[in-house]
Amino acid sequence: MEGVSYQRFPKIKIREVKDDYAKFELRETDASMANALRRVMIAEVPTVAIDLVEIEVNSSVLNDEFIAHRLGLIPLTSERAMAMRFSRDCDACDGDGQCEFCSVEFHLRAKCMTDETLDVTSKDLISSDHTVVPVDFSDSSGYDSADKKGIIIVKLRRGQELRLRAIARKGIGKDHAKWSPAATVTFMYEPEIHINEDLMESLTLEEKTSWVESSPTKVFDIDASSQQVVVADAEAYTYDDEVLKKAEAMGKPGLVEIYAKEDSFIFTVESTGAIKASQLVLNAIDVLKQKLDAVRLSEDTVEADDQFGELGAHMRGG
Amino acid sequence: MDSLLYLLVYPQRPLLTTRTIELVGYDKLGAGQNATVAVMSYSGYDIEDAIVMNKSSLDRGFGRCIVMKKFSAVNQRYENNASDRIVRPLKVGHDAERMQILDDDGLAAPGEIIKPNDIYINKESPIITKGPLISPVGLPDSAYKPSRQTFKGPEGEASVVDRVALCSDKNSNLCIKFLIRHTRRPEVGDKFSSRHGQKGVCGTIIQQEDFPFSERGICPDLIMNPHGFPSRMTVGKMIELLGGKAGVSCGRFHYGSAFGEPSGHADKVETISKTLVKHGFSYSGKDFIYSGITGCPLQAYIFMGPIYYQKLKHMVLDKMHARGSGPRVMLTRQPTEGRARNGGLRVGEMERDCLIAYGASMLIFERLMVSSDPFEVQVCRVCGLLGYYNHKLKIGICSTCKNGDNISTMKLPYACKLLFQELQAMNVVPRLKLTEA
């Protein structure tokens, strides 16, 4: 088997990229690869999130732990996170996690002086580092961007006060969901739909419409002029088998054949705003590479060669 | 003040209501959360009504609760007019560490983090409480002994002093009440229930990336085993799932009575299904799901949607218990019973029967005597009664035969010795016949 390589060269085609949304196709690879990418995006791409809260004054209605939990879940912009150090292996601060290399300090001071309730939001968090700030959700398109909108932490009434210091640290989603940069990461197999034209033509228009409408999603359509059934949007198909069942119920099994392409995936990625969706994908690939390197370079691999033989050699790029 | 209070951190309004719920106002004061439930089998940690929970959901606040517990102390006034006093905490000495949360008034301060064995009130009681009246002031420090109260909460957990209240009780003694708060996230063994009496314990907590997901990116909060349905026949729960799913899709709170009512105050399953189809779901409420571990599609369609789940107050933290060595009952010298008394775990009659059937005699011996109440006795081989050991002469003596000639030493459970003595007290003579001495 010497010289046989199973290496594949996956291809990515980007369909749509927005700041917090990306849709792309991943082709010429298999489910394990696609799933590894998905899992890394959810659980192992690092971000920065508030991890330690020191409360000076809290006379609000919510208790300290409650506020600390809410603060932790606020997404912070973390483009810098990949380059930052984990506070547990930071040399500069002996692991207490309070130095500039591994942490960012936040301050919050709010006191309600009026009779109107005061919303304390993520905008009130003052960061010591301008690259790590609470994510700004105000829509740039102008839709009520005038008034400040942030994530509400707590509401204060007259005389109530909240004063605290918070330390944000780098972390990964595996430890706590607050460090997960992904709101939604999902993929689907690309469906391949073949309509049996001959059989389809044996249907009346009425039957065709009822068949088309049996799908909960709009996968098929009837061409207005030719009255032929066409595939309107193959990806809308949710593998629900409804159309197949309908065809069988109509006595026309094999009216349509639907397969899932085993080697192409359509990814949908939504980010929390901590990092851009496109960056999230790139970071995930980096993390995945690092993990593979760790396997390849670990001292055990030589010993593992006896055990796994070709596989070990293959992983080391052989 | 209530002695025990359970609060949910993020309560929600149920997505599926009924007329009665509205009349009662349950939708105004929610006591649970709308969890996305997948009805499927996962890992085997979901058998016997156990549920599998998503760790990320728990991180984000699902099922989080606050437990408030009251501890009170009374500044007692005694017969001789002396009374308890609360004194300034020690700043040095070996008890100083346990008094760190005390203010100068000797009471724990609100907002302080309190751990088990911390002192929350530095109280002292007079040594002499009876006899002639004395003036309450001017008693020397030496006339008081400490009667501090220590906090006994879950071991290894930090609680917080939420509130401290001073009041006078019906005998006009000063009464101090502490409300101690503990925030808990769900853990394995905590109990949850839907509104259909389908209670279950959390069997395991799984990372989100290992959880199944749909093409839309929906990932359930918890997984429930389908075996809970056939015997229980909780059709309402299935309707709740469908109605809830339709509710989230179209943005309207649905009514969940079983049959559509003539007044139109309930949604029929048929109409709910139509709503589902309109929003691109299958009419049956089942979704096409991928495995989070392999990335391959699951073989079956999964019934998935929101169900209102409540956290019940039975939490492992309050119940877990183990014991190595510990206190014993004075009468029988056997280990105490019950968690509150740090008791042992009983090998009962049925367990014993199993061991007998298996023939594990040494194990029975070890459990029923060695680890329970072993006792050394002196047995007279002549009369078969129990004697005693004379420490001066260093021999065993039979008190019936009045000599120490035929004494054997053996071990038996203290409870057995007790039984013999009680029988003797009733004029029944139990005699031991030793085969080997």
Q: Which of A41, A240, A258, A263 to mutate to test the interface with B (most CBs of B within 10 A)?
A: A240
Report the CATH number of the B373-437 domain.
Answer: 3.90.1800.10
pLDDT at B300: 92
- CA dist B141 and B155 (Å) reads 34
Which architecture characterizes domain B10-61+187-311 according to CATH?
Answer: Beta Barrel (2.40)
CB contact B111 to A (< 8 Å): yes
Report the CATH number of the A47-178 domain.
Answer: 2.170.120.12
Closest residue in B to A270 (Cα) is B217
pLDDT exceeds cutoff 50 at A318? no
Instruction: For residue B60, give the nearest of A58, A73, A260 by CB distance.
Output: A73
CATH class of B321-372: alpha beta
CB B242 within 8 A of CB B273: yes
pLDDT at B259: 63
pLDDT at B261: 65
> Which phi-psi region, left, alpha or beta, contains residue B194 (left: φ > 0; alpha: ψ -120 to 50)?
beta
Cβ–Cβ gap A38/B280 under 8 Å: no
From chain A, the residues in CB contact with B207 under 8 A are 43, 174
For this structure, is B49 an active site residue?
yes
pLDDT at A237: 85
Q: What is the pLDDT of residues A194-253, one digit of tens each?
A: 888 888 888 888 888 888 888 888 888 888 888 888 888 888 888 888 888 888 888 888
Q: Which of A23, A188, A212, A246 to mutate to test the interface with B (most CBs of B within 10 A)?
A: A188
pLDDT exceeds cutoff 50 at A169? yes
Regions of chain B short of the pLDDT cut 50: none
For CATH 2.170.120.12, list the domain ranges present in chain A. 47-178
Instruction: For residue A217, give the nearest of B57, B181, B280 by CB distance.
Output: B280
Q: How confident is the model at residue A282 (pLDDT cuts 50, 70, 90)?
A: very high
pLDDT exceeds cutoff 60 at A43? yes
- CA dist B335 and B325 (Å) reads 8
CB contact A64 to B (< 8 Å): yes
Cβ–Cβ gap A216/B215 under 8 Å: no
pLDDT at A195: 84
pLDDT at B30: 85
Backbone angles phi, psi at A51, to 5 degrees: -125, -20
CB contact B211 to A (< 8 Å): no
Side chain identity at A156, as an amino acid letter? Answer: L
Cβ–Cβ gap B288/A238 under 8 Å: yes
**Tokens linked to A62:** 């919510």
From chain A, the residues in CB contact with B290 under 8 A are 186-188
Instruction: For residue A65, give the nearest of B183, B282, B283 by CB distance.
Output: B183
Catalytic residue among B27, B46, B49, B353: B49
SS3 label, residue A311: helix
pLDDT exceeds cutoff 60 at A95? no
CB A157 within 8 A of CB A112: yes
From chain A, the residues in CB contact with B289 under 8 A are none
User: Domain A197-254 falls in which CATH fold?
Assistant: Alpha-Beta Plaits (3.30.70)
Closest residue in A to B61 (Cα) is A69
Cβ–Cβ gap A238/B183 under 8 Å: no
pLDDT at B248: 93
Report the CATH number of the B66-184 domain.
Answer: 2.40.50.150
Angle CA A256–A261–A264, to nearest 5? 145
Q: Would you say the CATH fold of B373-437 matches that of B321-372?
A: yes
Cβ–Cβ gap B160/A64 under 8 Å: yes
pLDDT at A306: 59
CB B64 within 8 A of CB B183: yes
Angle CA B135–B139–B145, to nearest 5? 125
- CA dist A294 and A282 (Å) reads 18
Tell me: ipTM over 0.90: no
Side chain identity at B196, as an amino acid letter? Answer: H
- Residue ranges per domain, chain B? 10-61+187-311, 66-184, 321-372, 373-437
